[in-house]
A and B are shown apart, each in its own frame.
Chain A
């Protein structure tokens, strides 16, 4: 490692970093604006000036920009030399000439990098006597506020939005000191990573509009480490919550990124950042609800649904315990349905309550089958599930049947970086360091190869050098042929059109030539044949390269892979449940169904769900939102959302990560497992199974129990310290040491400070008492350091700039037994397509396909009205026109919806937006068949049974 001298002190530093990031790693405070640890150096702001001396004789030195300076072994530098300090002071003075100094009314205030850097550079007196330049602001959509007068022109926003995230509707406009960062015309920012502008902007030009609606200062938010629940990538987040003067209960107010080196790094997608509002939405359940037709207080019902009213939670728990007791006496049967969007702890608690034999996955056969396929692929030693940095360094990417921008958005952002690897290689051959972003990006523009085959691709088409839009069957066939091509086996009878055959050869050549190829696929196509072919391909590639193939498989929900671990194969799927209940109907034993955080209408066709409900006597639901299933439940318990509870999710890589309660849910909201334990507590008789539940007082008790029961999940007892952990005898504080107004905020009611709630699950306090900046554990989510109030301070919590978090990475890989992939030859099905029917292919939307975020107010503004896609040829065949209504006749009824032209929809198929409000119940039918015909004139959109 090179040794350098800074202000007389000798240090050893990483020679691959620039001087600025080396200094920051050393803990030195140097102000900067345009440099970003992930985006590198461009030398625009000139704020990070230091002095470099030729040798020890050189007394004056020369001014350099530390972000643009490579480390020279033996180099002598100064941060504190008068010339450097004066220059930095002058630069901040220049920058501030136009700044409006509106900190008191600016939402960035208190976590503003510009405030911090102004302070650090010692600019305290204004000498500029002129007028300030002013700008008009734009409407940028429901996520982002725009206040251009605050801009200091660091160019970070456009560098992130355009260069890093591939957006094209935010530009630097104009020139000189009038530069304007905005859109050509007002309108929503179209890129799905726009929310990062809030954190990338060093001041308050771009702020979080959803946070504005219930704004408090950063120091007034309580926070804890959490995991995003809006897809299965497992991004780490730092939700912030606080009570308000007219509401005693804390509410969730915003999400910010929480750095995780191997997953999200510095950036989140907009679904993850703005989806949180579902917890505060009108459909949130915060009371215990039951079916009583008398004394109706509130109604949760549309016209003919069951009516609910609030009941005393104790009555409901007692009622549940009576049913459990009856089950103990064999007088009743209790069935549990789990959920891929609920924690392992909740799922396991329900399993423990009802017994493994009566515990069902909450997934339909197909969903469970594809998840098991993912699981078995990831259990093969020849396959490696790559981290985000590994994705970013791939030099060829093949995406098979997965529209990752809409199903695993953060991974799409990583693939976008992988596209630059040819450019980076060119830089290295010219000895240009990779952090020299302005230099690297001007090198030859050719992308590293990115090839896509599948139904739909969003946001990556600009960097993909081949996109093939084909049905899942053809996609599987292509992948199968590719595997054979790579393994050198010439398939005799693969009937493929010539253009696919040619692409097979081309793709095989690209993958074989690449040093670090990557394959991406997933479960969203709901097509086992594709995953089997992907397995074959990965195996062939691994055999050729003699190294495991990097294969990223995207699953659909936050805990899809966690839930999968609790079941063998497709056992416990919902069709099996319906069949079992049908078969045992004659037993004539009353049956209770406990549904954990799951909307069955998204899992099974409507008739099957109705049948299931008709086969049981009691439906008990534990959930966060009033879903269609909730409307059929006899009793509903309000369940904690992710930010309100502790638990474990297993992400797409098989990484088990623990999330912690940021705040206590309002009203009677509590974790689903606590409702179950409460009910068991009421039981007069217990068996061994139930007495285990009675012992559970802490979330970690269940984590430990899971670790004992499931070998594959045994890391669950190592995911973090238990609730007894202390640093210097203290818990870790969720509130900052500046948390204000504790006694004043409720002064209209009382002036005493209410005692903080005790956290039974984590070694953290729901108050400002405790350790504030431990930097020894992953429990820290309030990213703050003296003098560094913004999220930029994350480097103080990293081993080195851009490196692992101090205290180690959060999460542990689950330990799946290693099995070679079974040989799935000859599974390329000939699908029996009903005559005159179309195959419904699920297509995905960043906003609209995910159940929880759909209830977020800001996101709901962007969700499209129901539609289906069809290619122009078939549009003519069916005699329908763009924008007209069509009838989609399915086994679940007729869906009357708008039809849109899409040139890439494969022939014989219609693209159906998965989970889109209005079409949710079609989700369970895909990829099935439907017939399509023009709707009668003067009809209106909707669903007919």
Chain B
């Protein structure tokens, strides 16, 4: 039984699987099968498969697709968009998929386009991902030459063109509606919802935006079926996932593992555990915008709801490890600087609150903090919390800070009372 559908074509060499090797390894089988199916049945299949969005929010992908209007009255033009603007701190999974197996993404997008009735697809790719963009461009041409993309694909009457749009670089473009604005040539600021993109997205037309990894799950889910797919997961969540670890571990990297793999297994077996002389102090389970968990959470399985219950989010599933010789204040300062810089500037708490947080953290780190600064930071975390800002950027920015203030409170106090950073 296939257990590594996402990485089965990925070898140790830094080359992309070309169309020949991809086809040789059952490539585009899902696409061929999909073209024989009713689009609605594909949506149902994906929904039943329990695939949850791999961009971080974990929303059921099939359910997302099902909101696209169908039928006679529905707009003729629809779009499928791939969110390849991978900018979450500590996250480098989509890059691997795009650079090494670009056809898997194209196949997933093609199936999704067919399921919702889109004839144009865009891959909105992070500007720095030159290699991935070049390899995708090549793959698109290969697929077209084989009749797998373009006009009247495999004589099915269905046509799909996929275009690559290289982002000018903005973390907020990971937010799907800001991405759509950027794609239209507007300022990358999130849109008001409703209307949701499925109803009125790119240029006002029904649009589905999915993450790279999400699309990569589709071909095998369609080809091998729901039961196989659900069986891949160890716990509640279905399928496999690219997990990653960064930080001072012996073997940082990414691995395709079943959903529900215990965190300890990921860090200690696959990442090789902490470097010698270092102790794990905490970790961000799913990228820079998730809450810190501590050593007592190491035995939790990487499942969306489990991590949620523990007070964090699985996010992108790429773990950032904090060791006992690295200053947690410095770490959250660094993250906050990133989020403050990447704020789109639309709503007040994010635009003006984050720079203030940065200034407070900077002076604590510089040994100039005041005892009341901790309450100020807590108050500001409240103000940028969920439901208070226009989009999820600022609540995400609050997560590492608010959890650090709980888990590593003594470190903050030490900075203030010692009037310096104890780690320096």
Contact = CB atoms under 8 A, between A and B. Distances in A.
Interface in A66-83: 68
Contacts, number: 118
Interface string A42-66: 1111110100000000000011100
A438 B356 contact: no
Contacts of A127: 376
B349 A94 contact: yes
B347 A43 contact: yes
A45 B356 contact: no
A177 interface: yes
A502 interface: no
B348 A430 contact: no
B200 A177 contact: no
Nearest to A49: B388
Contact of A430 (B170, B199, B340): B199
Contacts of A155: 346
B342 A176 contact: yes
Given A430-B194, A443-B204, A177 B388 contact: no
A445 B203 contact: yes
Contacts of B346: 44, 155
B381 to A, nearest CB: 11
Contact of B192 (A43, A174, A430): A43
B383 A91 contact: yes
A176 B340 contact: yes
Contacts of B311: none
B12 interface: no
Most buried by A among B346, B363, B390: B346
A42 B192 contact: yes
A87 B344 contact: no
A8 interface: no
Interface string A85-125: 00100110011011000000000000000000000000000
Nearest to B342: A176
Interface string B38-75: 00000000000000000000000000000000000001
Contact of B200 (A64, A152, A442): A442
A444 B195 CA distance: 11
A176 B355 contact: yes
B348 A45 contact: yes
B347 A44 contact: yes
Contact of B348 (A63, A64, A91): A91
Interface string A283-294: 000000000000
Interface in A394-451: 426, 430, 432, 436, 438-439, 442-445
Given A129-B359, A130-B359, A172-B187, A442 B352 contact: no
B342 A430 contact: no
B60 to A, nearest CB: 23
Most buried by A among B188, B376, B380, B383: B383
Contacts of A45: 347-348
Contact of B195 (A44, A47, A97, A430): A430
B194 A62 contact: no
B365 to A, nearest CB: 14
Nearest to B186: A442
Interface string B358-376: 0100010000000000001
Contacts of B193: 439
B144 interface: no
A439 B203 CA distance: 13
Contacts of A432: 194-195
Contacts of B355: 97, 130, 133, 176-177
Given A63-B388, A128-B356, A444-B200, A91 B349 contact: yes
B413 to A, nearest CB: 19
Contacts of A442: 191-192, 195, 200, 204
A53 to B, nearest CB: 15
B192 A177 contact: no
Contacts of A44: 346-348, 390
A442 B187 CA distance: 13
Given A130-B356, A179-B351, A442-B195, A43 B390 contact: yes
B268 interface: no
Contacts of A68: 192
Interface in B314-352: 340-349, 351-352
A602 B345 CA distance: 53
Contacts of A133: 355
Given A63-B388, A176-B351, A177-B343, A439 B356 contact: no
B405 to A, nearest CB: 17
| Binding site secondary structure of chain A | loop
Interface residues of A, number: 43
Contact of A46 (B192, B199, B343, B347): B347
A177 B383 contact: no
A439 B342 contact: no
B157 interface: no
A64 B193 CA distance: 14
A177 B387 contact: no
Contacts of B348: 44-47, 91, 94-95, 152-153
Given A438-B191, A444-B200, A444-B205, A175 B343 contact: yes
B345 A177 contact: yes
A174 B345 contact: yes
Contacts of A87: 383, 388
B70 to A, nearest CB: 16
B389 interface: yes
Nearest to B177: A442
A427 to B, nearest CB: 8
Interface string B374-394: 001001100100011110000
Most buried by A among B351, B359, B389: B351
Interface in B145-203: 170, 187-188, 191-195, 199-200, 203
Most buried by A among B348, B355, B380, B388: B348
Nearest to B372: A127
B127 interface: no
A47 B187 CA distance: 23
B353 interface: yes
A152 B376 CA distance: 21
Given A175-B345, A177-B345, A94 B200 contact: no
A365 B90 CA distance: 80
B194 A153 contact: no
A95 B387 CA distance: 19
A47 B346 CA distance: 13
B215 to A, nearest CB: 24
Contacts of B170: 175
Interface in A265-303: none
A439 B349 contact: no
Contacts of A426: 200, 204
A128 B204 CA distance: 42
A98 B352 contact: yes
Contacts of B341: 176
A72 B383 CA distance: 25
A439 B345 contact: no
Contacts of A42: 192
A129 B359 CA distance: 8
A62 B191 contact: no
A854 B289 CA distance: 59
22 contacts: A68-B192, A94-B352, A94-B353, A95-B352, A130-B359, A133-B355, A153-B351, A172-B345, A176-B354, A177-B345, A177-B351, A177-B352, A426-B200, A430-B195, A432-B194, A438-B192, A439-B193, A442-B192, A442-B204, A443-B195, A443-B200, A444-B204
Given A49-B388, A175-B342, A445-B203, 7 more contacts: A47-B348, A90-B349, A95-B352, A130-B359, A175-B344, A177-B345, A432-B195
Interface of A: 42-47, 49, 62-64, 68, 87, 90-91, 94-95, 97-98, 127-130, 133, 152-153, 155, 172, 174-179, 426, 430, 432, 436, 438-439, 442-445
Pairs A-B, 7 closest by C-beta atoms? A444-B204, A438-B192, A130-B359, A94-B352, A179-B345, A176-B343, A439-B192
